[in-house]
Chains A and B, each alone.
Chain A
């Protein structure tokens, strides 16, 4: 890495690190999620962990909380080697995490939620309710809140639940606090409250790892930063010495347009027009046009409403307002079968959950949306289904022992090919690809990208949702950026740059 900055904070801090990770690597079959990462957390300081989706932040959190055990590297707490064999071991060592989605129980009281799993006992071994309520109250008042510990969680607001989650994290005598996008669901005022709590924790000498996409917050609360990219720590240092541009550059890093060669395609007339599409909770006022042969990239952070928008174009959820035009005719899509009939198909992000019936044979999965095409007068024709499957299996270079084996026996890349083949077989006009290369190996990625280009060249219109900047930059003719359910910008190919997209997606003007 040419842009690796020297590790600066050791000299800038009076005390030694509370927690040190040295050369941590985490390998999953086919993927190196973390590659020799070294970071340090200091008492009384906030370290911001910044990186794109999939850069390895969650993996790091899981190692720190004892859920994963790293393949390489060592961890030191107070200079002493430490290894977490279980989540409990991490808690015992004083590491606690406040997760993005709070894992709490609606039907239990605040006190029960806070002390679930480590409830104080009376001398008879029964649960000491008075102690629970007193300590809960103390914890809540430490968080400047007066929530009654005997209230059930389901009666609290989202922000109050968040406080309960924080109280739960602090109830275990933690010295190292991990906050995984704690502000995602909070309003500005609630964020201010949260930051006061963080300042409070700092004064108590706790080391805090703060994960956030939002630069203004990071600069407001954190002293140090670490930038992750592709599983590596590509830069770290003190925030007050580092301008924002530098961090964006570290986050995005490379210029990889050449790795994704997109064939030039003559862009035709509009095929699909979306006018002021809105959903009660997920997105609002989305308007765009998709033209023949065009690849429209949709970029944004997780939770920006991209998948929800695509699912509503496919009839899985209904928009509250807005109109859809297909080749200048208004259409109404009430269900996925309407969408398929109209020529709009959706290749979902989660193959296993949305895409395939794993116990069923390959050819039956492929023909499932095209049964009208392959059946004769209402009867299934296995020969036609097999012919259809064979055609697309050849085209996609699907590797399988036979088309009659269950899809569940295939590798991830080949399963993805079955999903794509299944939708191509319906001969669509518009194909929506949601994270088309997520979780597949580099070789299959290149093949999928080449194939997407080919489809565009044949005149298909493509919407490609992706969290991977290189993919978006390399493949798209235009990019729509979404942020918090709104359109944050539409960029033509000649105006595309990683920096612009990240700024639009994170709300940094």
Chain B
């Protein structure tokens, strides 16, 4: 199935290229390098969140609280920045990652120690984290003029032709690839999702692996909290509302199996870019804002159907081989 997966990723690249070419015929300059770089920069936060989501999904879990985590963390660092303008930006970023990781650890702990299904845990914490953002801010906004220039500008600084935000996403992609393919944690994540029982028999602590995946997802959500607030130059309770679904959609489009154990970093990134291209193209080619949501929804469903069919095919091959011992029992 490795070949199939690779095919799927190549196929996704092809679809994205065709989409860009198609949109370029309707909107001049859509395929220009500057615009493509812009789309990538626009999709950076989704890519970062999707990679955290992917680590969680690999372990047969799901993290629905990422957007709420992002909102709380973004609010916290924005308020800190407004209240203590002298704190160095690096410290604020570390703070954002730390808060995010802590919120992720709460999810992970509930899933690990109390054995509550991840979807239930994160549905609960989704509301809690967003509620906490409300309590923290009292419902108020932190606006651009309250934030320091460095807080707002560093992600926009161009380095070698790309903004720092894009570079952060690129580093996270490389980091995620490294963690998932080169560290024992990554292998444990694939094994825990691929066959939890076999993983236990191989001496892997599934609960701990899930915990780490949630911490990773939370840390990336925290980082994204800062990036989001800085990018849109405003922090309020409802930022990124519903964005957790985009991260799940990016994973599913990218071929990460919701059942766990299957998927690649390239897939998640391409899934996010696929969504990014559509979101950027629809307004440009003059689709009414009312139709945009419906259209991107239809495209997501189509991509999921396509993926489900690909997975089914792979499943049949396995079933045929396994039919022998089962039949003879």
Contact = CB atoms under 8 A, between A and B. Distances in A.
Interface in A270-290: none
A353 B329 CA distance: 15
B203 A340 contact: yes
Given A336-B203, A379-B182, A440 B325 contact: yes
B28 interface: no
A358 B318 contact: yes
Contacts of B32: none
A33 B1 contact: no
B324 A410 contact: no
Given A357-B198, A439-B328, A406 B2 contact: yes
B173 to A, nearest CB: 19
Interface residues of B, number: 36
A356 B203 contact: no
Interface string A421-457: 0100000000000000011100000000000000000
B194 to A, nearest CB: 3
A17 interface: no
Nearest to A53: B329
A378 interface: yes
A54 B262 CA distance: 35
B201 A336 contact: yes
B325 A405 contact: no
A358 B203 CA distance: 17
Interface in B233-262: 257, 261-262
Interface in B156-205: 181-184, 186-187, 190-191, 194-195, 197-205
Contacts of A404: 2
Interface string A372-412: 00010011100000000000000000000000111011111
A308 to B, nearest CB: 15
A316 B203 CA distance: 10
| Residue among B182, B204, B328 with most chain A CB within 10 A | B328
A31 B202 contact: no
A31 B318 contact: no
A337 B205 contact: yes
B323 A28 contact: yes
Given A54-B329, A337-B203, A440-B325, A357 B190 contact: yes
Interface in A204-245: none
Interface in B91-140: none
Interface string A27-51: 0111101000000000000000000
Given A360-B190, A406-B2, A354 B183 contact: no
A120 interface: no
Nearest to A385: B187
A337 B322 CA distance: 28
A408 B198 contact: no
B326 interface: yes
Contacts of A253: none
A361 to B, nearest CB: 7
A491 to B, nearest CB: 27
A162 to B, nearest CB: 24
Contacts of A346: 201
Interface stretch (A93-101, A171-179, A363-371): A363-371
B321 interface: yes
Contact of A368 (B191, B314, B322): B191
B54 to A, nearest CB: 15
Contacts of A369: 202-203
Given A356-B195, A359-B261, A360-B191, A316 B321 contact: no
B202 A351 contact: no
Contacts of A335: 203, 205
A352 interface: yes
A386 B186 CA distance: 17
A349 to B, nearest CB: 10
A102 interface: no
A357 B324 contact: no
Contacts of B191: 357, 360, 364, 368
Interface in B71-86: none
Given A360-B261, A378-B184, A348 B321 contact: no
Specify the main secondary structure of chain A where it touches its partner.
mixed
A411 B321 contact: yes
Nearest to B323: A29
B90 interface: no
Q: Which of B186, B194, B326 has the most CB of A within 10 A?
A: B194
Contacts of A31: 324, 327-328
Contacts of B294: none
Contacts of B327: 28-29, 31, 33
B322 A360 contact: no
Contacts of A405: 2
A335 B181 CA distance: 25
Contacts of B182: 379-380
A360 B324 contact: no
A316 B202 CA distance: 11
A459 interface: no
Nearest to B311: A359
A408 to B, nearest CB: 4
Contact of B1 (A30, A316, A371, A409): A409
B198 A354 contact: yes
A376 B324 CA distance: 40
A438 B203 contact: no
A142 interface: no
A141 interface: no
A28 B182 CA distance: 42
A316 B200 contact: yes
Contacts of B181: 380
In this complex, the member of B194, B203, B205, B326 whose beta carbon has the largest number of chain A beta carbons within 10 angstroms is B203
A87 B105 CA distance: 50
Contacts of A30: 324, 328
A58 interface: yes
A303 to B, nearest CB: 15
Contact of B187 (A351, A355, A368): A368
15 contacts: A28-B323, A335-B205, A336-B200, A346-B201, A353-B197, A353-B198, A354-B201, A356-B195, A358-B195, A359-B261, A360-B191, A378-B184, A380-B186, A408-B317, A412-B324
Given A336-B202, A352-B195, 11 more contacts: A316-B200, A356-B195, A359-B262, A368-B198, A368-B199, A371-B187, A375-B184, A408-B317, A409-B1, A412-B325, A415-B321
Interface of A: 28-31, 33, 54, 58, 314, 316, 335-337, 339-341, 346, 348, 351-361, 364, 368-369, 371, 375, 378-380, 404-406, 408-412, 415, 422, 438-440
By Cβ-Cβ distance, the 10 closest A-B pairs, closest first, are A439-B325, A357-B194, A28-B327, A337-B203, A31-B328, A408-B318, A357-B195, A368-B202, A369-B202, A340-B203
